[in-house]
Structure 1
């Protein structure tokens, strides 16, 4: 696939017809479909050999695979790209928390904005069109991060869907009274309420603060829950009690849930069944859990992930996501959700015949968690957030990835990053 899509003339948006598509998830017999993208950036029609007028730009995609944009349902854009400034010699979760807290005390909003925008651009260029980001709000970071991301959410709305989680972060000696007195101002700017109860000095009171604020503001809950491997201190039952009390069934997401892999099977199954009953979703973060967990084990160090395969095969809605990108929590990361899907399949003990399951974990499953609704997917009326690739099917998209790819964000083509000097070198060799 060598066509470069251009949907604008003289800076004006044009309607665009993608002719000859293979739509992800449809059977091979339905190859040769057409997708009409309207001037408003939404999918206007889907059909075969659609008849369009002369004002519509027609691009023959010659059987290219069309996927909806990828969804990264758990990132930390306020932390992204700070690795060189935040050493974490221990490689542990606590070491990472302390390193970033020190940096956050002096980092201005402009610093957060610059780093976050760079990572958002890299994610978008690799096919991610929706991100939910947890943003620290505490005595160290104050409101710098959430203010910066609220502005970026507005500025990028024409090309990327960004949701903000007010991540009310507890630290030792930062009493919960500060979080309680500031949570309403934070949640007013946010799309969800989050936190990490396992490290709070009083996790029960802390959970009450978070859930009460979510109820007051009509926001969903998105927690970092039990990001550890100590079977003696899980907090699932405390969360379940509050989900029911505050009526947040179907509106609660639990990130990490690593401790489930350390619990006896009977206890895991009891917790799993409560999750299904309360319609609670889970996000696994393989990069962070592989890197941070299990460092104290002298023999057979654990992978640190939750029970990914068992949860998804049992009907629990479970997605996978990047978590941190190039910071003390995860020193690597490119913003490529296909890479994360591969890590999840390998580290989460999915099988080779479950590549399509890993694909669902970066598309439709996290889209439901973010409540993107009819705006998402390859359907009439949805935003034309599309990944166009030369892959045979979604299994090939995950297993090997594309050789050629084009991203459309709300109907507009996203140019692949280019190294300017390369144009001159290619010209010397007459390389097209």
Structure 2
């Protein structure tokens, strides 16, 4: 079991030697990294003469990567599979199961489950998470208030952002959501929802975009997480992105339906996504598990058009989504595993392993608006030291050992790791 409490506090500078820094495109540069006592990268060079009090770590044989970024999780739901089964295996079945559980789940339960998952993600190299948190008549504010406390508790190790996920349910009008969205937004880093299941999508999208604009927050939606080509909401979203000035501040998760429409309909949508600076997130675990269950033959994969979007330059990230709950019964918090799923299920090719590396580092960091995330002089020292030959090998099979640094501290270390003070 990896430790996730601080192992080394930078009361003095740290010099990391022998490692190879992995750029976003997978290229490697052998360099030394000097971390100052404040936990920032003071210098990167082929050879550094450190202050005499510096602690040295030898990273020979290891890659140094930015901390992984999980841009779409549901920490309020994580780990409830045993208490909220989903016999149908469908999206609506999962929604119903969690809604029933949320009516009686105490805040301390959410706090405990989410803490465990955050620690698990950290041990696998994830240093930033954006979590959608249900706010509705069933869950109330239990989830967002518990996770707001966790956001503060983990701020020295993991950058946690919360999306006020204003969740409509069948038979539930939008009055409660409209009356409570401002309170939710005050605890959130973004505002979101799922227009495909709203009874009045226009009114629903208006309340989300209006609240986001009012509070100066970005928008992050679950977008058309279905395979019905006759139910598209992209035009409605694009209209509001323009009206509310949300260009470059809107993220759409899932977009599964894009794989169910003809190319002639898909290409204009993709062009508008690019024009408006909208980011996308594919969630292979959830979409492979939940989608296409009604098909008797050749069930669809349920993902969006991963290969075409990323090759066209759309900022497309991949993420865990749900972890061990009614929506996804599996999951370990390992984004390298999600990168592999994305390559396989998204019909990327063997020479695009480095592309999936960008989908868990550089791209989601930009979608979350993270600063200080790249490995460069002046940034916070948030990075992974992972034993592997190169980025292709790292994505394909994972590291043989790893050590995780947050703000210049060694916060998690695999027992197999050979990264020891030199």
Provide the TM-score with structure 1 as the length reference: 0.93
Partner of 2:100: 102
Partner of 2:294: 296
Determine if the alignment matches structure 1 residue 383 to structure 2 residue 380: yes
Change (3 A) 1:142 1:417: farther
Within a 5 Å distance, the mapping from 1:417-428 to structure 2 comes to none
On the 8 A contact 1:32/1:63 being kept in 2, the answer is no
Gaps of 5+ in 1: 419-432
Within a 5 Å distance, the mapping from 1:187-202 to structure 2 comes to 187-202=185-200
Partner of 2:112: 114
Separation in 2, partners of 1:115, 1:200: 29
Q: CA RMSD in A?
A: 1.9
Determine if the alignment matches structure 1 residue 38 to structure 2 residue 36: yes
Partner of 1:392: 389
Change (3 A) 1:218 1:28: closer
Change (3 A) 1:152 1:393: same
Separation in 1, partners of 2:117, 2:356: 23
2:136 to 135, 138, 142: 138
Structure 1 residue matching 2:32: 3-state secondary structure: strand
Determine if the alignment matches structure 1 residue 401 to structure 2 residue 398: yes
On the 8 A contact 2:120/2:333 being kept in 1, the answer is yes
User: How many aligned positions are there?
Assistant: 413
Partner of 1:76: 74
Within a 5 Å distance, the mapping from 1:2-17 to structure 2 comes to 13-17=11-15
Q: 1:332-379 CA distances to partner (integer Å, 9 max, x unpaired)?
A: 000000000000000000000000000000000000000013x11101
User: After the TM superposition, which parts of structure 1 deviate over 4 Å for at least 4 consecutive aligned residues?
Assistant: 7-12, 26-31
Structure possessing the higher relative contact order (Cα contacts under 8 Å, 6 or more residues apart) = 2
Q: 1:279-303 CA distances to partner (integer Å, 9 max, x unpaired)?
A: 1110000000000000000000000
Partner of 2:64: 66
Q: 1:30-55 CA distances to partner (integer Å, 9 max, x unpaired)?
A: 74410011111111111122001221
Structure 2 residue matching 1:222: 3-state secondary structure: strand
On the 8 A contact 2:254/2:303 being kept in 1, the answer is yes
Provide the TM-score with structure 2 as the length reference: 0.95
Change (3 A) 1:16 1:199: same
Separation in 2, partners of 1:311, 1:119: 30
Deviation, structure 1 residue 384: 1.1
Separation in 2, partners of 1:237, 1:72: 27
Change (3 A) 1:45 1:12: closer
Deviation, structure 1 residue 405: 1.0
Structure 1 residue matching 2:15: 3-state secondary structure: strand
Separation in 1, partners of 2:361, 2:11: 27
Partner of 1:340: 338
Structure 1 residue matching 2:82: 3-state secondary structure: helix
Change (3 A) 1:165 1:318: same
Determine if the alignment matches structure 1 residue 179 to structure 2 residue 177: yes
